[in-house]
Structure 1
Amino acid sequence: MPTPYGDSVFHTQNIQQFATDVASATGGALEITVHSAGSLYAHPEIKDSVRRGLAPIGEVLMSRLANEDPVFAVDSIPFLASSYAEARALWDASRPLVEQKLAAQGLTLLFAVPWPGQSIYTKAPIDSTEALQGASFRAYNAATERLAQLMGAVPTQVETGDIPTAFATGRVAAMITSPSTGVSSQAWDFTSDYTDTQAWLPKNMVIVNTKAFEALPEDQRAAIREAASVAETRGWEMSAKETDAKMATLKENGMTVAAPSETLKAQLAGIGKTMTEEWLEKAGEEGQKVIGDYQSNM
């Protein structure tokens, strides 16, 4: 089983436990060997390796498949779902369509787990988007580039590993990323304020080759599905704990952690509405149903 992230990442730890649970439930008849940190296949290759049957099972960031179908980007629309409760409701609304799209490619979804929410890092407190007008803002994909534009900032492409240097040299003055990335890049060295927006909570999916899965005995398939259900619940809990722990680390290192002001919340909600409408133009009737189901359950 190839996975993209290292052994210290909670997603990988959750998957290791999933593999242990499957082996235990099948009395050792079915064993899953996890190859973490892209050691078997690099992240961009994992989904296709599972589809082609080169690996029977793997983990992938859902939004990496957005170029195949807009539905895979639904959990990365800024400010559509800005808490774990909202992210859960959005997943409940979108999961059937995600499963359908994967099934068409010979893939079966087992479970999905979110990363901590994306929040704003700045060198001074911000009460509104006006504080970001004209500021160079780190972007790492089309969505964050569009987000920066709508906030009045200037999007600047910077990869994760280059964040400290980009701030130190003045290439960027602000960014939006998870508390996990903030800690790993030691954001307190170059920013002072963390505004807890939880703009979106992107998910990793664990997928299995449908033919390989259906070739297993029924008791083993049942064991996998049960372990997957447990892993999804456990993974969401681990993600929430990761958020709390990493935010505490930011505070311990002198950063100011604050909720967004009412003005900023309203402005960001407006940006979220705009980006949701733009997504719906691509996603069509299928997307309309997902958003409708989500909003009716909130």
Structure 2
Amino acid sequence: MATEYPASTVSGEGIAFFADRLAEASHGRLGIAPSYDAALKLKSSEIVAAIRDGRLAAGCAFGGTLGGIDPLFLLSSLPFVTTTEAEARALLDRARPLYTDHFDRQSQHLLYATPWPPSGLWARKRIVTPADLAGLRLRVYDATGVTVFAAAGARPVNLSFAEAAPRLADGSIDAILSSGDGGAGRKLWEHLPYFTEIGYAMPLSFATVGQSRYDQLSPDLRAAVDAAAAATQIEQWHRLDKRVEENLARLRANNVTITSPEKITPALRTLLAQAASGAIADWKKQAGPDAAKLL
């Protein structure tokens, strides 16, 4: 069961928790061999394809990278749609039947969805005005992010986290859109000592298993998988509030300057909101009426 993120992130910890619960629920008859930090050389979009093609049993893929497979998976990373945990959970509850159906089209069974802490901007400088954003060479995690930040004057490029690290090291990007969690796991503070809390989105990663592998299990083992997945879903949301505070504390301990939302200028807020509205309208057209109704 693979993820492109480190074991210390919410995605990695979700896999570890699921593995423990599955071993317990199946009385040791089923086991998970976790693979973290893109050790199998698979980005999130490639994880879904590998499961679909039978090359990988299971995985946890970041939803923002799956827009090329199906625009529905961009829902949780739409800008400024869910700004609180309660809103993010409500959106997932409403969207889960659609997610299940669309993963079924990819020949896989949806296990659980992992929420990430709010996405902010890691950068070499503070980002508080439109001028700070202008021309910024910025890594984003999906096509929507490209649309939003290009409209806001930045120079965004859509990269997986695995692809972003070398670009950051060689100086070809100056900033990264990510949660404090993903960044903390990768020690972004070594290159980007500023984190601006813009509350961009609370995106999801999706854990799935190949449908044929799931179907081949006996009824009691399928029940064990479902029970472990349900427990993991509850645990991942339960951890979220505490996780945000832990991440911010870790950033402060490593001398990261955190810019809180109230320090962002009204001009930058307005600019981002205007850019976001266009991107959301485009997504509604691409995703279709059933997905658009969720908003």
- Shorter-chain TM-score: what band? 0.7 to 0.9
Structure 1: how far apart are the matches of 2:34 and 2:168?
Answer: 30
Structure 2: how far apart are the matches of 1:108 and 1:79?
Answer: 29
For the structure 1 residues 71 and 191, does the alpha-carbon distance in structure 2 shift closer, same or farther, using more than 3 Å as the test? same
Report what 1:95 is aligned to: 96
Residues 17-96 of structure 1 correspond to what in structure 2 (within 5 A)?
Answer: 17-40=17-40, 42-43=42-43, 44-96=45-97
For the structure 1 residues 63 and 174, does the alpha-carbon distance in structure 2 shift closer, same or farther, using more than 3 Å as the test? closer
Gaps of at least 5 residues in structure 2 are none
Structure 2: how far apart are the matches of 1:112 and 1:96?
Answer: 12
Query: Please, which moves more after superposition, 98-107 or 267-276?
Result: 267-276
1:211 alignment partner AA: S
Q: What are the superposed Cα offsets for residues 204-231 of structure 1, whole Å, 9 maximum, x if unpaired?
A: 1111222221222222111211111110
In 2, are the aligned partners of 1:2 and 1:58 still within 8 Å (CA)? Answer: yes
In 2, are the aligned partners of 1:118 and 1:199 still within 8 Å (CA)? Answer: yes
Residues 102-251 of structure 1 correspond to what in structure 2 (within 5 A)?
Answer: 102-121=103-122, 123-124=125-126, 126=128, 128=129, 130-132=130-132, 134-140=134-140, 141-155=142-156, 159-163=164-168, 165-166=170-171, 174-183=175-184, 184-187=186-189, 190-192=192-194, 194-251=195-252
For the structure 1 residues 231 and 135, does the alpha-carbon distance in structure 2 shift closer, same or farther, using more than 3 Å as the test? same
Report what 1:257 is aligned to: 259
Matched, 1:287 2:291: yes
Task: State the structure with more CA Rg.
Answer: 1
Structure 2: how far apart are the matches of 1:14 and 1:181?
Answer: 13
Structure 2: how far apart are the matches of 1:156 and 1:214?
Answer: 39
Report what 2:11 is aligned to: 11
Let me know the Cα RMSD of the aligned residues.
Answer: 2.7
Q: What are the superposed Cα offsets for residues 257-296 of structure 1, whole Å, 9 maximum, x if unpaired?
A: 31244724454333322211111121121222222xxxxx
Deviation at 1:154, TM superposition (A): 3.6
Deviation at 1:41, TM superposition (A): 6.0
In 2, are the aligned partners of 1:75 and 1:202 still within 8 Å (CA)? Answer: yes
SS at match of 1:55: coil
1:32 alignment partner AA: I
Matched residue count: 284
Deviation at 1:176, TM superposition (A): 2.9
For the structure 1 residues 65 and 153, does the alpha-carbon distance in structure 2 shift closer, same or farther, using more than 3 Å as the test? closer
Q: What are the superposed Cα offsets for residues 58-92 of structure 1, whole Å, 9 maximum, x if unpaired?
A: 22222322112210111122212223222222212
In 2, are the aligned partners of 1:164 and 1:190 still within 8 Å (CA)? Answer: no
Deviation at 1:157, TM superposition (A): 7.0
For the structure 1 residues 210 and 190, does the alpha-carbon distance in structure 2 shift closer, same or farther, using more than 3 Å as the test? closer
Deviation at 1:156, TM superposition (A): 5.9
Structure 2: how far apart are the matches of 1:212 and 1:125?
Answer: 47
Report what 2:272 is aligned to: 268
SS at match of 1:155: strand
User: TM-score under structure 1 normalisation?
Assistant: 0.82
2:247 alignment partner AA: K
Structure 2: how far apart are the matches of 1:62 and 1:187?
Answer: 24
Structure 2: how far apart are the matches of 1:147 and 1:154?
Answer: 10
For the structure 1 residues 72 and 152, does the alpha-carbon distance in structure 2 shift closer, same or farther, using more than 3 Å as the test? same
SS at match of 1:82: coil
In 2, are the aligned partners of 1:135 and 1:174 still within 8 Å (CA)? Answer: no
User: TM-score under structure 2 normalisation?
Assistant: 0.83
For the structure 1 residues 165 and 41, does the alpha-carbon distance in structure 2 shift closer, same or farther, using more than 3 Å as the test? closer
Query: Please, which moves more after superposition, 35-44 or 277-286?
Result: 35-44
For the structure 1 residues 65 and 155, does the alpha-carbon distance in structure 2 shift closer, same or farther, using more than 3 Å as the test? closer
1:204 alignment partner AA: S
